[in-house]
Chain A
């Protein structure tokens, strides 16, 4: 381990942002907060992307570790204590001045502060809390703060930090307790889920307290910083690493569903595994990180959160992985042709939502627009429906767009001609797994049976 004295801020920033980049959460969403007229900063609910890094991901927050000196030895992590890499730590003042000066110049929407475990979980959590306190109270920073709760830290420290942050997260890292034991022996299900539950309860209590107008006393452990202190107002999120361990998509999505339902998480993030340590216990993925699998999981995650799907509708023990060639919604629709075709001018919102090519926005617009007029296919196009996917599944005033067959193989074959089934960014990033498939696509269309590809 190399520890250098008198490192410049530039060197520290490079080391500690490099060390933080595998944490994928970079959203600044979930909270609407006007400026207070004095300090600096406000928040808008949809979040704001400030730039996009070379890998095409949104950069919204100054994403850094407080320190990458870590006593843990998680084998997937590059800050693992056995790794020989340059180590650095910020001081709270350095983090504050970087955040304030970047924010003034509109580089960032706020701060994402994570950390390696320095000395002990409590010691680290306290440093994080000190930093947030300085930023909120001394610098009057009113922008977005996403902070990590350190597994195993004292609940009192986590609670204090929660009153200063907008979002908190604790990474689940691996979907099953067994994998966690194998790859991250210093962490356990218990040390991860306990603070997660604590934050959930904190958010609940806070809502109750705020709803009770007779309540005027100061909240226990909270610090007087903002007029309307709320506990983690933007909710909590977590992340799972995909492809480092043998879990299938069904297991991963079931865990995600459980987190949404039982822990009321705002977001679950999926991070395609990048083998940074070349550790013998970890898989070598010849095609690079499993980006397409990650993409399918995100699509399915959207179906859970916004389209009222449940995991058991999408996957099962017998069919535990997503179809790599078709998005999960098309895949579901093909297996449930009995629900189709759907009449655009009559179907209710939830039925419309399940049609491939119709998103939440266009479903809402359809409901609104058809109050005053009968919709036809041209209108749908203007509204934003992706007709090349939807046309097999819908009728407008009883008519289909073209003469098509309501037949699994026929529709599947046609949907597969649509290149957007494999997202552009993945097709163009030279993803190995796709090139095999693309060869198949240039041949004249052959009947593809569903059984073959699932």
Chain B
């Protein structure tokens, strides 16, 4: 078995797919892994993949052309997922080590798609375990991103910048970036993914945004609110209180609809 180890990014995994394909080692002898292996196997050869934007682009273009943009988006969303830890079974064997993980599932899904008469239908083949796995991952990412489109809260800082802090399970910043730079084109804003220590930055009047490392973010700066910020927070909290119908009060339903992990970043739940 040849294990291609790559970066856990879209470009990293795309490059690994390119290299694996190009290696002519036989698809069934190949496994792609987007993290450090927990155990090194004896009869495996480990191949490090250097992320290469040119190769990645070729893979991306091929997917878009053969499978269509919709499938491409779904696959990218799946790759942005934080995978749940694979369940440890009592009898660890080779099959467990090479369980379904997203990078390899992505490779197998592509292989399957290219063998189909109409590859644009690949995401409908939920009978295939790899396709199903990617489908579930992308659904997770999609759901979380959609939640955050609503639950994210900006606070206005002294310099007029809108700042939001969030703790997403998955790497959803690109999806948030697309949405908010379209919605707030005239604002300077920053979305800080505290779990990954990444910041998404958008400048007023510019269509694009960038995502950058923010492990050394200035803590003082992000708590330095503008003069009117607290006033609007109060107004919002007041609205939030009075909109509840007492006769229908139902905290359990509330917590079910906006889970606790989102509440901690939403100003109306801070007391």
Also in contact, A51 and B232, with CB within 8 A (given A14-B242, A104-B154, A369-B124):
no
Beta-carbon contact of B257 and A56 below 8 Å: yes
Also in contact, A38 and B126, with CB within 8 A (given A14-B239, A51-B151, A56-B256):
no
What is the size, in residues, of chain A's interface with B at 8 Å between Cβ atoms? 62
Q: Mark A360-385, 1 if CB is under 8 A from B, else 0.
A: 00000100110111010001001100
The size bracket of the interface on B is: 35 or more
Beta-carbon contact of A56 and B268 below 8 Å: no
Beta-carbon contact of B243 and A372 below 8 Å: no
Interfacial chain A residues near B266, Cβ < 8 Å: 51
Given the complex of chains A and B, what is the CA–CA distance between A424 and B257 in angstroms?
12
Q: Mark B169-200, 1 if CB is under 8 A from A, else 0.
A: 00000000001101111110000000000000
Interfacial chain A residues near B162, Cβ < 8 Å: 104-105
Beta-carbon contact of B243 and A42 below 8 Å: no
Given the complex of chains A and B, what is the CA–CA distance between A102 and B125 in angstroms?
43
A54 within 8 A of B: yes
B238 within 8 A of A: yes
Selecting from B18-26, B41-49, B247-255, the interface stretch reads: B247-255
**Residue among A53, A58, A274 with the most chain B CB within 10 A?**
A53
Beta-carbon contact of B243 and A56 below 8 Å: no
B150 within 8 A of A: yes
Q: How would you classify the secondary structure of chain A's contact residues: helix, strand, loop or mixed?
A: loop
Selecting from A16-24, A124-132, A251-259, the interface stretch reads: A16-24
Beta-carbon contact of B268 and A51 below 8 Å: yes
Given the complex of chains A and B, what is the CA–CA distance between A312 and B207 in angstroms?
53
Q: Mark A51-73, 1 if CB is under 8 A from B, else 0.
A: 11111111110110000000000
A317 within 8 A of B: no
Given the complex of chains A and B, what is the CA–CA distance between A371 and B117 in angstroms?
12
A37 within 8 A of B: yes
A204 within 8 A of B: no
Interfacial chain A residues near B146, Cβ < 8 Å: 46, 48
Q: Which positions in A face B, CB cutoff 8 Å?
A: 9-10, 13-14, 17-18, 20-22, 34-35, 37-42, 44, 46, 48-60, 62-63, 98, 101-102, 104-107, 109, 143, 272, 274, 288-289, 291, 365, 368-369, 371-373, 375, 379, 382-383, 424-425, 428-429
14 contacts between A and B (CB under 8 A): A17-B243, A38-B185, A39-B186, A40-B186, A51-B258, A52-B258, A53-B243, A55-B250, A56-B254, A101-B228, A365-B126, A368-B124, A372-B127, A429-B249
